[in-house]
Structures are given as structure tokens and as C-alpha cells.
Structure 1
Amino acid sequence: MEAIMTYRRRPVTSEDIATIKRIIDAHPDKSRRFISQEVCRQWDWRQPNGFLKDMVCRSLLLILESKGFIKLPPKKCTPPNPLAKRKRPSKVIVDETLIHCSVTDLLPIHLNQVRRTPFEKIFNGLVSEYHYLGYTQPIGEHLKYVAFFNDRPIACLAWGSAPWYIGVRDRFIGWSKKIRENNLHLIANNLRFLILPWVQVPCLASNLLALNRHRLSQDWQNLYHHPVYLLETFVDTERYLGTCYKAD
């Protein structure tokens, strides 16, 4: 059947429109969220982790309504958008005493995954205050880590979903467009890497990356129900050499 349109790589046919209309007619008093989730279930439209593509489907429904294909039920409420007027993270008060030693003198370093924990505010505040790019809320799948030495935070790392297309990366992997579409979620991108300015420890960066690399896939599996097999990063070569990534 010929597609009326394609949205997020999914063709939408007249039969799909009919399915949506049937769901709306069968549940006239239900919310748009319910309609969206029911459409996802009937289409088996899911993320790689098995969760429904609810937000993607809601966007599609709004587009279909704007084009006159369907008529959605009235809004029951307008949920708050936490990204619309996001405040800068609060400043975190930490011990700024100079740490200048060898990396072996820092051991053991405790690297904690802090996403959805009380320690997430520490990550957000430190990155906002001390990373040259500041803090921005990641979109999509992501994890945040804080490294501690004797209960003192010394570094922060964040990983998120990989960019959709990077020519040099995709040529290096050697995958086709179709394989990339099916497997991109198995790559994590290093969104932030911060060693706090009063921590002056040679080789610490590569050690932290190694610690993080060894546990990242399992942490991703625990939260998002799928592993990651490849890590990538971008280095601002006007500021950094990227040596720690080569050493890890």
C-alpha cells in the first residue's frame, strides 16, 4: 500500500490512518496520551529498549491532525515542559583543596552512576560551573557519572545517544544505512568530561575513561534494557589534544 507520508522512517498509509480513527472513535473520552499509546501498541511501534514510542507518536498525531487526516479528542491538560524554562543548576559547594599527586595515590576511585539519584544535582551543578560548555539537559537516553575520592567529587562524565549520521564514523564501522538505522542505539557519545580544576593528577583522565568504559554497557542495560558496544567522542582540538582517549 502506498504511503501517504513518512515520519521518523515509518511509512504512514491510509490503512494506518483508518486504524488511528478507529482507536479515537472507540475511546472518545480518553486522553491524547492514551490514544498515542494505543496506536503504538497496535503498530508495535517501540524503541530498541522495548518502550513504546509514545512521544514520537504524539508528534505524528499532531501532524496528521494539522493536515486534516484525523481529529484528536480535546486536550485534557497541558503537562509542564521541564525543558522550556529550565533554570541553571544550583551551585554545588565542594571542597576545593588542591589535589596534586600520582593517580595511584588516588586509588580507589569510586565512579558512581548518578542519573535519577540524589547525586545528580552534584553532577549538574559542577558541570554547569566548571565545564567550558556549561550544562545542558541531555535529550534521549543518557547516563551521568561522578567520580569520588574520599567522598570528594573529582570528575564528571556524561554519555548520551549518538548523532544520527557521521560520515567518518559510519565509514570506519563499515555499516550500511539500514544497519545504522537498526543499531545506532548501541553507540554512546561522550557528552561531557570534566576533571575539576583543583584536581591535578597525571593520567587521571585515561584512568577514569577506563573505569567508565568497563561498566557503561551494563549500566545502560540496567536502565534502558539494551547494551552499548561502541563509544565515541568529539574533541575540540583548539583546546585539547585528546590524548587521554588514545591512552585508554
Structure 2
Amino acid sequence: MSPTHRYVGRDFTDEEIELIGALCTNSATPTRESIARAACEALSWRAQNGALKIMSAKVAFLRMHRDGLITLPPPRSENTNGRAVRYQSPNAQLRLPDMSPSTLSQIGDLRIHLVQTKKASAIWNQTIASYHYLGYVPLAGAQLRYLVEADCGFVSALSFGASAWKCAPRDTHIGWDDKTRRSRLHLVVGNARFLILPYIQVPNLASKILAKVTRRLRDDWQVAYGYAPVLVETFVETGRFAGTSYRAANWIQVGKTQGRGKLDRTHAKALPVKDVYLYPLHRAYKTILSTQTSM
């Protein structure tokens, strides 16, 4: 059997990497975008809704390039995933709060905006790069981002994307074996970022935002990608946060990570230990996730 190499949750054989490498030197596919598109078509690499997984391919191929497996052509634009600015100065486009509310009543109604335009995307990216301690890192594959606005201005930004390939506490809680996990993992999404602007110090605001966003997440995902997830996961760094907001929003704490990170291949314990929290989007999530047949 041909050896395999794992990138972004997919195993690539030596023959497939050879095919990708050939596309990198083919005049018919001169750009990274065209290479990703052609490779997805050749490998039948598609999302659940049938769309080509071009963004995932671009991320995977960049990592292959860095690992010396293929040689990508130079990027056509400076604004590539490989050169995204992780930390930036505060965002001038964002309407920052014009007051310092201290209670939910002063915050008023929360308006949840799904990021769907280039302008909103730029605002979200720079807001996270400016104020989130992890900074901005592009998400690969299926994803949704939200900006949350109140009467006083924008107060929060969130994102949801691919779940961890393996997570022992989560997998044990669900009751997954390896084969079932591989076939049903797309039905779990990860809460990759959750930011409340540092100017806002309001008790219970975080749990209220989580509740409002998760109520609409399943439907938004269905519209965007043609299927509905049944579970959300997140990882809370134990030395930095207590996870109070997630518990207040009825998320379930199921254990702790081993500090390896979802892309770890060497089993080297190099990352902070995190609490693992889950939030069901469907009451029968365990049954759905433990069944290999389609919904």
C-alpha cells in the first residue's frame, strides 16, 4: 500500500502528491488557485454539499510546499494565507463603543451579523488581529464568522470552523470508533474564536452572545454548506480562562486536552492544556454522530 501523508484531515498517497506536484509545473494551472481547483476535481475532493474543497486544498498544498513535498508557484498576491498578518493595530473601520456599559440593560438589543461581504470580512479579520490574544489565523474549509453589534457599537466577534481531527475527551463522550469518527466528523464544528472587545466589561454578556449565536448556527450552516451540524466544540486554555461563560450558556465540559494541538504529528507536548467544552445543536446528537448512514 502506498504511504500516506495527512494534511487538513485528509490522507494523501504518494501517487496523489505526485499528481499535485505535476499540476504545479503544468502551464495549464499557473496559479495556486488553479492548482487547488484542478487537484480537487482530479481527486474528487468535495464538501458534503458537493462543492470543491478549494480552500482546504490551498492550505494543505501550502503545508506540503513547506514540507518539501511539492513546489508551488510564487503567490500572485501578497495577501495569501501564508502571509496573513496575525496581529494588527486597532481597526479604524469598526464602530467602537461610544460608552462603557456595565449591565445588559445598558447594552440593549444584540444584533448578530453573519460575515458575508468583503468589507465585513476585513473588519472581522482586523478586529481579531487587533484584540484577540491568539490573533488572526485564516480558517480552512467550511466556516462561519459573526460580528455582534449593540446600540453602543460592535461588542463581539466569533468564528466557527473545522473541528479537531481527534480529541480523546470528545470522542469518548460521543462513543466514537475511528471509522465512524472519520465519516461523521463534518457534523461537529469548532468555535475557533470568541472575542468580546476589551472596552466591554458586562456580566453575563458572553453567555448571552453564545446562546444567541448557537441558536442560529445550525440553520446558517445549512444554508451555507447544505448540511446541518449537530454539535459544537471549543477549547478553553485553563491557565488563562475559567470557562465560566461557556458553562453559563449550558456547554458541557467533558475533559482536558493533552497539550498537543489538533495538527500535532509528533506527540510532543508543546501547547497549553485546555478544557474541552461541547454544545449540542440537536438533542439526538450522540445517536446521529454514532451512525455512519447519512442524515
- Correspondences of 1:155-170 after superposition (within 5 Å): 155-170=156-171
| Deviation, structure 1 residue 204 | 0.8
Q: Rate the CA distance shift 1:156–1:43 in 2: closer, same or farther, 3 A.
A: closer
Q: When the two structures are superposed, what TM-score results if normalisation uses the length of structure 2?
A: 0.64
Aligned twin of 1:91: 90
d(CA) in 1 for partners of 2:110 and 2:247? 21
Query: Pairwise CA RMSD of aligned residues?
Result: 3.7
Aligned twin of 2:131: 130
Q: Deviations over 1:116-149 (max 9, x none)?
A: 4422222222222222222222233222111111
Asked if 1 retains the 8 angstrom alpha-carbon contact of 2:148 and 2:155, the reply is: yes
Q: Rate the CA distance shift 1:235–1:11 in 2: closer, same or farther, 3 A.
A: closer
| Deviation, structure 1 residue 181 | 0.8
Q: Quick one: which amino acid aligns to residue 123 of structure 1?
A: W
Q: Deviations over 1:45-89 (max 9, x none)?
A: 422231234564995xx99xx99xxxxxxx7x8544612322355
Asked if 2 retains the 8 angstrom alpha-carbon contact of 1:113 and 1:145, the reply is: yes
Aligned twin of 1:100: 102
Q: Quick one: which amino acid aligns to residue 210 of structure 1?
A: A
d(CA) in 1 for partners of 2:12 and 2:182? 15
Q: Secondary structure at the match of 1:222?
A: helix
Q: Rate the CA distance shift 1:108–1:37 in 2: closer, same or farther, 3 A.
A: closer
The structure that has the greater radius of gyration is 1
Q: Rate the CA distance shift 1:199–1:38 in 2: closer, same or farther, 3 A.
A: closer
| Deviation, structure 1 residue 44 | 3.8
d(CA) in 2 for partners of 1:119 and 1:29? 35
Q: When the two structures are superposed, what TM-score results if normalisation uses the length of structure 1?
A: 0.74
| Deviation, structure 1 residue 114 | 1.4
Q: Which runs of 5+ in 1 are unaligned?
A: 68-74
d(CA) in 2 for partners of 1:82 and 1:245? 33
Matched pairs, number = 231
Q: Deviations over 1:90-135 (max 9, x none)?
A: 632324531112x244332101111444222222222222222222
2:84 pairs with 1:82: no
Aligned twin of 1:46: 46
Q: Rate the CA distance shift 1:155–1:10 in 2: closer, same or farther, 3 A.
A: closer
2:189 pairs with 1:188: yes
Asked if 1 retains the 8 angstrom alpha-carbon contact of 2:98 and 2:152, the reply is: no
Q: Secondary structure at the match of 2:119?
A: coil
Q: Percent identity?
A: 32
Q: Secondary structure at the match of 2:237?
A: coil
2:147 pairs with 1:146: yes
Q: Which runs of 5+ in 2 are unaligned?
A: 250-295
Asked if 2 retains the 8 angstrom alpha-carbon contact of 1:115 and 1:145, the reply is: no
d(CA) in 1 for partners of 2:11 and 2:192? 28
d(CA) in 2 for partners of 1:128 and 1:78? 22
- Correspondences of 1:156-235 after superposition (within 5 Å): 156-235=157-236
Aligned twin of 1:239: 240
Q: Rate the CA distance shift 1:52–1:237 in 2: closer, same or farther, 3 A.
A: same
